[in-house]
Amino acid sequence: MATLVRTIICAVVLLAGAASAEEITLPSDHPDGTLKPGPGSEVAQRSCALCHSTDYIVMQPPGDQKQWDGVVTKMIKVFGAPLSDADAKAVAEYLARQYGR
Amino acid sequence: MGFLSRRQALGALGGAAAVVAGRTLTGWAQASDPIVAGRPLVRYPQKTDLILLTSRPPQLETPMKWFDRAITPNEAFFVRYHVFPIPTRVDLTTWRLRVGGHVDRPLELSMDELKAKFAAVSVTAVNQCSGNSRGRFAPRVLGGQWGDGAMGNAEWVGCRLRDLLTAAGVRQGAVEVTFDGLDKPAFGSVPDFVKSLSLGRVLDDGNVIVAYQMNGAPLPMLNGFPARLIVPGWYATYWVKNLSDIIVVDRPFEQFWMKPAYRIPDTPCGCVEPGTAPKATVPINRMTVRSFLTSPEPGTRLAGGRQAMLKGIAFDGGYGIREVEISDDGGTTWRRAALGRDLGPYSFREWSAAWTPPRSGAAKVMVRAFNRIGESQGTEPLWNPAGYLRNVIESVEYQVS
């Protein structure tokens, strides 16, 4: 009897808990945001998907080397993206090549 | 922040269920919209099919077909986060809204206390991303390449921010109030998304509320469950979601998301010569006047000489829409549309106009609105480097046969 009562109490608590907690599960990164293959794509994938999905990059207007240098510099200086100078150069060149005008 | 939240972020990624629909936009003529065409339609939790801008953090755009009515359903409401991870679980038994900083009596309120201790008020208001329609800027600018669907209109219910501040007792010398939510960047070097408003802005306006209800239901998680700030008339950047901390400060708050982000040129139009940089900037604020023709859908085949009913929505930054006009001759002559029910000055205002298409060929219908202080929309788009405030006159093309 005591067990039954306890079970009922537990169920009530669970129900109350369920009503007051809200939970969702997010999907993984969508394949449409995948970076184009090509020299530099691996280092770009490694360094540029840490804080956000790469659709942030893919959706941007096509741009010249100056645009992409600016983007990479902003990620490093403003948001602290951890890229070595060599990687930063490789990524910026890759982006200008694959997402250029 | 640091490592724990970073591991949580990675965990969230790894364990994620693929609920991506993998379809692209059909139906609405957005398929021919150069900005939105080809983007996948995805279905996120508590949401219907929305246009994917980014997956992580999620940015989802509302298809234009949902703007054939004044109220945007919760499931169709756009989503825009800045940092990752975002909250995916909120337990109301532990969630608290803190009101602190430069106050006499800091508060920690549960949802029950929020509802029991403070009067509930309702406001119907448009929530529009600062960068809505950024994809259409010419020359183009970096940032979220939104079409026109980073907006929505809902009836929000919650308590007045000023009632909360009064209960906490704002101290002498306070100048601003900051708002922080449960989204916390995994990388310590990424600035947390925190926004601020001047004390005057929030004390003078009883319509600035902490909303816990949206269109009669709890807020979807991705629109700010369990509570978000509502700043009617102002851009969505201030409408902080999954709200947790309201802090009164005694000096201007100038962290990244207030400065240099979300600034407009300090010029009367908020614009500069295309391609140039502004000399000075101010935080973005009140929304510009906009109007859209949403039904029939663009590209629809209409019968020449047979009357059609055109419908759409208009809104502004809180004065209310006074007039909507349409033109089918390239803007030479304008004809007044009928306005729908008035849901208050912050809401979408429905409009409709009977229109008889010419006998054959393609026809273009333009729409413009005026608010109650005479502000309207221009024939040439205004430009600024961040891609904000877009409000050029929109037009829709139909095939007439």
Chains A, B: CB pairs < 8 Å:
109
Strand segments, DSSP code E, in B182-286 are: 194-198, 209-214, 228-230, 243-249, 263-265, 281-283
* CB-based contact A21 B89, cutoff 8 Å: yes
Question: Within a 10 A sphere around the Cβ of B309, how many other Cβ atoms?
Answer: 10
Question: Is the preceding peptide bond at B218 cis, omega within 30 degrees of 0?
Answer: no
The one-letter amino acid code at B317 reads: G
Q: What pLDDT, on a 0 to 100 scale, did the predictor assign at position B115?
A: 98
Query: ipTM of this predicted complex?
Result: 0.91
Q: Dump pLDDT digits (tens) for B111-159.
A: 999 999 999 999 999 999 999 999 999 999 999 999 999 999 999 999 9
B53 vs A contacts (CB less than 8 Å) = 55, 59
pLDDT over 70 for what percent of chain B?
93
Write out the H or E segment, with its range, that includes residue A98: helix A85-98
Distance to chain B for A8, nearest Cα, Å:
20
Say yes or no: A98 contacts chain B, CB-CB below 8 A.
no
Q: What pLDDT, on a 0 to 100 scale, did the predictor assign at position B359?
A: 78
- Place B29 in a pLDDT band, splitting at 50, 70 and 90: low
- Give me the residue from A59, A67, A79 closest to B190, CB to CB: A79
Whether residue A23 contacts residue B88, with contact meaning beta carbons closer than 8 Å, is answered with yes
B354 or B11, greater pLDDT: B354
B88 vs A contacts (CB less than 8 Å) = 23-26
Closest-CA residue of chain B to A62 = B140
Low-confidence ranges of chain A (pLDDT < 50): 1-18
Distance to chain A for B188, nearest Cα, Å:
8
What average pLDDT does range B148-176 have in this prediction?
Answer: 98
B5 has pLDDT over 50: no
* CB-based contact A59 B13, cutoff 8 Å: no
- pTM for the model: 0.93
* CB-based contact B55 A28, cutoff 8 Å: yes
Say yes or no: A67 contacts chain B, CB-CB below 8 A.
yes
Q: What pLDDT, on a 0 to 100 scale, did the predictor assign at position B360?
A: 78
Q: Dump pLDDT digits (tens) for B180-203.
A: 999 999 999 999 999 999 999 999
Nearest to B313 by CA among B355, B285, B347: B347
Q: Dump pLDDT digits (tens) for B277-332.
A: 999 999 999 999 999 999 999 989 999 999 999 999 999 999 999 999 999 999 99
Nearest to B220 by CA among A22, A15, A45, A5: A22
Distance to chain B for A80, nearest Cα, Å:
5
Residue A43 φ then ψ, to 5°: -65, -35
The structural domains of chain A, ordered by start, are: 32-98 (1.10.760.10)
B391 has pLDDT over 60: yes
